[in-house]
Amino acid sequence: MDPEVSPQPTDAMSSPGTSDRPLRVAVIGSGPAGFFVAQRLLTRPDLVATVDLYERLLTPFGLVRFGVAPDHEEIKRVTRQFDKVAAKPGFRFFGNVDVGSHVTLDELRPYYDMICFTTGAETDRRMGIPGEDLVRSHAATEFVAWFNGHPEYRDRQFDLSVERVAVVGVGNVAVDVARILSRSAEELSTTDIADHALEALRQSRVKEVYMLGRRGPAQAAFTNPEVKELGELAGADIQVMEEEVELDPLSRAEVEQSDDRKLQKKLEILREFAAHSPAGKPRTLTIRFLVSPVELVGNEAGQVEGLRVVRNRLVADGSGRLRPEATDQSELLPVGLVFRSVGYHGVPLAGLPFDQERGVVPNERGRVLTPPGDAPMLGVYVSGWIKRGPTGVIGTNKKDAAETVGTMLEDLALGALRSPAHPQPETVESFVRQRQPAVVTYADWQRIDQLETARGEPQGRPRVKFTSTEEILAALNRDRQDR
Ligand code: NAP
């Protein structure tokens, strides 16, 4: 055991978690994973806790603000639950504070009983094929962050003067990217899409969008409401080839044996797409199956001008999972822009162990484990994508938070914690403000929220986002002076 660590006293009066001595928790990362951990801790009747939620950006909500597509406004309503969490006694928001640079894990430890990282999966996976770094080849995640007004991506350029675009992958992120590229400017103009993206998409000359699945329709990762919506776009016809929606014998056997109603429904939607004739809309969105990209082909200027794909057949691996195997047939798709949408990937966090292969922090039900012996890192936890990998929908993080908080409370009961030297909430606040004077509080965020909403009103939009740090700080300063 770490010599600095002494188990907590078991005396109920002085052990953390009571009104005399609330459990002091720092949560790092204010996306859904972080808010659900805070919610769980602050709503237990048998526990008195305080939660300081740290966020490196100026605004909360992580992928709800910067990942959920702008035309999916209803999904963002989950932030109303987060507002309720933020209104609980014991909750504080430290926005604009980067744990890792402004303050480190080791520096925070003397102030908290427990620290839980909920930082998500910040980067994307690569395809690992030649030409991936050509101009006009991008990660879908960057495009998503750009059209959602993420301050670190607002200056990215995507060449929408090309007519044909390929999106590699058939998960829900690929669907979001393909749909935003296929929507008309009128459809987008009532959303909270970033102004710079609205303007660029208004000028877009894209006519054909391809989504490419390396396996068959029965293995597609997208969910039914998301794929169904692709058949309902005002300005784009959906197209699926009949021969590609036909199941291969292995998939057919698998589908027949399972009673997965959602999968049956997904196949029905895709068959309807294949049967339906185009209505002559200005754009076409084509979903392809059983094709893998093998090379991005460039022109003399180093820009993408084609994507070579190989046709696959499905074979069962040792565990019975159907995986793609390349045939000798290939084709060149004449696309000028490629978005790889083959999954997110976590990044290492300063001071924490990391599993590079899976892109997660090694853990057991949220308790961080240090290799090689897998000893628990006392008082340090993870939840959300940095814990389990980039899968599931927003609500999945609620279940995940329940598990992590369960583990935290087990450790609390066992006294398997460090004793922080300065558990008083004021001491950490003055320390953090010394390092980062421009802390954004939740009240500041609520003001930003009101200002963005007011900017959207005349245009009939839910909000017009501020997309730079300077803009937000200037708006807050103006607002403080006006009061
Ligand atoms: P995902 O669901 O894991 O999909 C990744 C896709 O990339 C799969 O089709 C996968 O195919 C394919 N792929 C992986 N490696 C590939 C390669 N080398 N070549 C070609 N294709 C490759 O990931 P995601 O779309 O990034 O979504 C992440 C999570 O966020 C998911 O749980 C998703 O449901 C969720 N999400 C939800 C919504 C929503 O609810 N509206 C919106 C966005 C995201 P294989 O199956 O063959 O591996």
Q: Which of 6-15, 66-75, 252-261, 402-411 is predicted with the least confidence, judged by mean pLDDT?
A: 6-15
Pocket test for ligand 1, best of 68, 75, 127, 172 (most atoms within 8 A of CB): 172
Distances 222 to 60, 138, 217, 287, 342 between C-alpha atoms, Å: 27, 20, 10, 12, 12
Residue with tokens 């730079």: 468
Ligand 1 centroid vs 123 CA: distance in angstroms? 14
Ligand 1 centroid vs 213 CA: distance in angstroms? 10
Rounded Cα distance between 18 and 3, Å, is 26
Which residue, by CA, sits nearest to atom 2 of ligand 1? 171
pLDDT exceeds 50 at position 2: no
> Got the DSSP string for 382-415?
E-THHHH-S-S-TTHHHHHHHHHHHHHHHHHHHT
Ligand 1 centroid vs 222 CA: distance in angstroms? 7
pLDDT at res. 481: 87
User: Looking at ligand 1, which atom is closest to the CA of residue 220?
Assistant: 9
Which residue, by CA, sits nearest to atom 38 of ligand 1? 172
Q: How far is CA 303 from the centre of its chain?
A: 28
* Beta-strand relationship, 337-340 and 114-117: unpaired
What values do phi and psi take at 132, rounded to 5? -65, -25
Pocket test for ligand 1, best of 214, 307, 345 (most atoms within 8 A of CB): 214
What confidence tens digit (pLDDT) does each residue in 326-376 have?
999 999 999 999 999 999 999 999 999 999 999 999 999 999 999 888 999
pLDDT exceeds 80 at position 8: no
Ligand 1 centroid vs 130 CA: distance in angstroms? 21
User: Looking at ligand 1, which atom is closest to the CA of residue 173?
Assistant: 25
What confidence tens digit (pLDDT) does each residue in 80-137 have?
999 999 999 999 999 999 999 999 999 999 999 999 999 999 999 999 999 999 999 9
- Rounded mean pLDDT of 374-385? 96
pLDDT at res. 14: 63
Ligand 1 centroid vs 140 CA: distance in angstroms? 11
Q: Given pLDDT bands bounded at 50, 70 and 90, which one contains residue 9?
A: very low
Which residue, by CA, sits nearest to atom 31 of ligand 1? 391
Ligand 1 centroid vs 50 CA: distance in angstroms? 36
As to burial, measured by CB atoms within 10 angstroms (0-12 exposed, 13-18 middle, 19+ buried), residue 205 is exposed
Ligand 1 environment, Cβ below 6 A: 127, 168-174, 176, 213-215, 219, 221, 226, 292, 341-344, 390-393
User: Looking at ligand 1, which atom is closest to the CA of residue 225?
Assistant: 41
Ligand 1 centroid vs 84 CA: distance in angstroms? 31
User: Looking at ligand 1, which atom is closest to the CA of residue 125?
Assistant: 15
Ligand 1 centroid vs 311 CA: distance in angstroms? 20
pLDDT exceeds 50 at position 5: no
Which residue, by CA, sits nearest to atom 36 of ligand 1? 172
Q: Find residue 311's DSSP bridge partners.
A: 291
| Strand, coil or helix: 175 | helix
Residue with tokens 């997965």: 260
Mean pLDDT of the chain: 95
pLDDT at res. 479: 87
pLDDT exceeds 90 at position 379: yes
Distances 439 to 21, 57, 110, 307, 327 between C-alpha atoms, Å: 26, 10, 20, 46, 56
What confidence tens digit (pLDDT) does each residue in 388-435 have?
999 999 999 999 999 999 999 999 999 999 899 999 999 999 999 999
Q: Given pLDDT bands bounded at 50, 70 and 90, which one contains residue 480?
A: confident
What values do phi and psi take at 226, rounded to 5? -65, -45
Q: Smallest Cα–Cα separation from 349: which of 167, 105, 36, 138?
A: 105
Sign of CA dihedral 170, 172, 173, 179: positive
Rounded Cα distance between 240 and 222, Å, is 15
| Structure token digits, residue 415 | 């006294």
pTM: 0.95
